Amino acid sequence: MSMPHIHSFAASYGEARDKFLAAARIAGAATFRYDNPHKGPAGEALSTDVARLGPDDASRVLVAISGTHGAEGYCGSGFQVDWLAGTGAAGLPADTAVLFVHAINPYGFSWTRRVTEEGNDLNRNYVDHDKPYPANDGYLEIADLLIPRDLSPATLEAANAKLADYRKKVGDVAFFQAVSAGQYTHPDGMFFGGGGPAWANRTLHTIAERFLRGRPDVAVIDFHTGLGPYGYGEPITHYDIDSPGSRRVRAFWGESVTESKRGQTASQARDGLGHYGLNRLLKEPETRLTMCTLEFGTFDRDSGQKAFRADHWLHKYGDPLGQEAGPIRAAMRRQFYPETDDWKEAVLFRGHQLVRQALAGLARGPL
Ligand SMILES: [Zn+2]
C-alpha cells in the first residue's frame, strides 16, 4: 500500500476544486461542470464538478460524493483527489466506472457552512415538497434561544439557561429531536429543510439522471464529518432492517456498518436525507443501489453545536464579510475539518478501504 498523500487535501474551496480537476486529468477522467449561480466570500465562481472514469456504458458505477454539508467537503474532496491521482484506472474492475461528485454544495464549502445558499441542510431537503412538510413544534419553542439576537456572554448565558430548562422539561430525546430533526418553518434557522428543492438537490438529481439512471448496479458513498470518534470513519446505512438494501450494504462493507433503523448510530434516519432522494430515483428492478454515509469523527458535539449556532447568527444578524466572521468561520472549519496529518491519513486509509470494498462488492454481482 502506498503512503497516504496528505497533500491531496486543500485549504480552500478554490484550491480543492483545482486539485480535483488536476487529479481528474492525471487519471484521464472526463469532467463535467455544473455552475452555481452564487459566489464565494472572495468573489470566486462556484460549481459542482463531476469526474467520470471507466467505460461510458459500464453496468456498475461507484459514486463518491463530497460536500453535501458544505464545510465537510474538505474531507471527501481530499479522498477523491487522492484516489484519482494515486489509484485511478488501475483500481477499476471490468465493466465498472467511477463517478466522483465534487462539492455538491459549493456555496457551503466556500463559505464554510453546513447549509446551502437557500439556508437548507441538504440532508433535510430531499423530502417531497408537494406534500405538507414534517412538523417540528419543539423547534418553534426554542428557535430564538438557539440563535439569539446577539452573541454577548450575557445573552448566550441567558439563552443557554432557558435551553437547559427546556431540555429538562422534555427530556434528552425530545430535545435533540427539536434541535436537529429538521424544521421547515425558519429559513435562517438550524437544520432547515424546506422552501423547495435546493440547487444542490436539483443538481444531484440532474447528475444521477445523466450518469446513473438505468445502470444495473450503483454504489454510493456520501462523505461527511462531525460525528463520532476523532478520525474514525463510520459507514452508516438508513435502509430498513433486513431489507435487500441493508443486506447489500453489509455485504459490501462488513461488520463496521451501523444501521440507523437499529439505533446503532448517533446519526438518525431523518426525513429528507440524500439517502431517500437517491433511493427514490434509482430503484429495483432497474437499478440496485447500495448506499452508505461515511461519517468521520472530529470534535465533540457541544463544540459543534456552538460553532453551528454562531454561524447561523452571523448569517442572520451579523456581517458574513465583516471582522466578526473570521473567528466564527474558523470555529466551523476546525469542527468539520481538523487539519492534522493523523486525521487526514485516517480519512484516506478508510476512504480507500471502503471504495475497494464497494468495487469488489459490485464485481461479485447481485446477492
Ligand atoms: Zn454531514
| 153-172 confidence digits (pLDDT tens) | 999 999 999 999 999 999 99
pLDDT score for 4: 53
CA of 70 to the centre of ligand 1 (A): 8
Q: How close is the Cα of 72 to the center of ligand 1, in Å?
A: 6
Q: How far apart are CA 54 and CA 164, in angstroms?
A: 53
Ligand 1 center–CA 63 separation, angstroms = 17
Whole-number Å distance, alpha carbon 224 to ligand 1 midpoint, is 4
Q: pLDDT at position 1, please?
A: 45
Å from CA of 37 to ligand 1 middle:
23
Q: How far is the CA of 90 from the centre of ligand 1 (A)?
A: 30
What separation in Å is there between the alpha carbon of 132 and the centre of ligand 1?
25
C-alpha cell at 133: 412538510
The Å distance, Cα 253 to ligand 1 centre, comes to 20
- Closest alpha carbon to 118 in 176, 225, 13, 202: 202
How many angstroms separate the CA atoms of 274 and 281, rounded?
11
Distance 247 CA to ligand 1 centre (A): 24
State the distance from the centre of ligand 1 to the C-alpha of 97, rounded, in angstroms: 25
Q: Which residues line ion ligand 1, judged by CB < 5 Å?
A: 69, 72, 224
What confidence score (pLDDT) does residue 21 get? Answer: 98
Q: Please state the pTM of the whole predicted model.
A: 0.97
- Can you give the residue ranges of every domain in the chain? 6-129+193-301+333-364, 137-180
Q: Looking at the structure, give the CATH architecture of the domain made up of residues 6-129+193-301+333-364.
A: 3-Layer(aba) Sandwich (3.40)
Main-chain dihedrals φ then ψ at residue 35, nearest 5 degrees: -75, 130
CA–centroid distance, 295 to ligand 1, in Å, is 7
- Give the CA distances from residue 262 to residues 234, 235, 241, 252, 255, in Å, rounded to whole numbers and listed in that order: 15, 14, 7, 18, 14
* Pair 112, 332: CB distance under 8 Å: yes
Distance from Cα 154 to the centre of ligand 1, integer Å: 31
Cell numbers that stand for 218 in this block = 450503483
| Ligand 1 mean position, distance from CA 127 (Å) | 17
Residue 240 Cα to ligand 1 middle (Å): 21
Give the residues of the chain that fall short of pLDDT 70.
1-4
Distance 330 CA to ligand 1 centre (A): 17
Q: How far is the CA of 305 from the centre of ligand 1 (A)?
A: 13
What are the distances in angstroms from CA 247 to CA 240, 258, 287? 10, 12, 15
Rounded distance from Cα 43 to ligand 1 centre (Å): 25
Spacing, Cα 52 to ligand 1 middle (Å): 24
pLDDT at 179: 92
pLDDT score for 215: 97
